[in-house]
Structure 1
Amino acid sequence: MRLGQVLYFGLFVRMGMVVYATHNIPGTLTTFASTIGGVFAVASSTLIGQAIGEKKGQDIKEYRKWGYILSAVFMTFVTVTLAVTSP
């Protein structure tokens, strides 16, 4: 995978530093958003695991639903905020 990244980024560097810098901006935004998504994934997995252990089937569905909704909202909010406020 890393070799593929080196080749992929090498193509952008050959196109020029402006193109490479422009490519890195959305990559940075994606990293911030995916970090938040990872946090919600861990929290949701923990809650769902506890609900499975307690045999609470309805809670599993609720945790899953709200995990998706909250992660999508917060990831979108952070990405839009960074995109709007970046120079």
Structure 2
Amino acid sequence: MPLLAERAEPKTYIIVFKEGTSNAEIDEYKHQLPAGVKHLSTFYALKMMTVEVDPDNQGLVSDLKTSKVDFVEEDGEVHTT
């Protein structure tokens, strides 16, 4: 019986917007995400958004950094005991 190849999972990224970015600008950014990038949630008070990037589209991560974005970081899982 052949082993199934492990399918790559989508990765979640946190996008943090620069101070002074308006909620309207964040909404505009959200509606212009490239194909292969799925919006998960927006936290307006924190000027932050989470997105999921399909494994086949990891090259798009660099496209997420625009003049309104402070940084894009892969979301690591937090484990508590």
> What range describes the TM-score normalised by the shorter chain of this pair?
0.3 to 0.5
Kindly indicate which of the two structures has a greater share of residues assigned to helix.
1
Larger proportion of strand: 2
Computing the radius of gyration from Cα coordinates, the structure with the larger value is: 1
Which structure's relative contact order is higher, taking Cα pairs within 8 Å and 6+ residues apart?
2
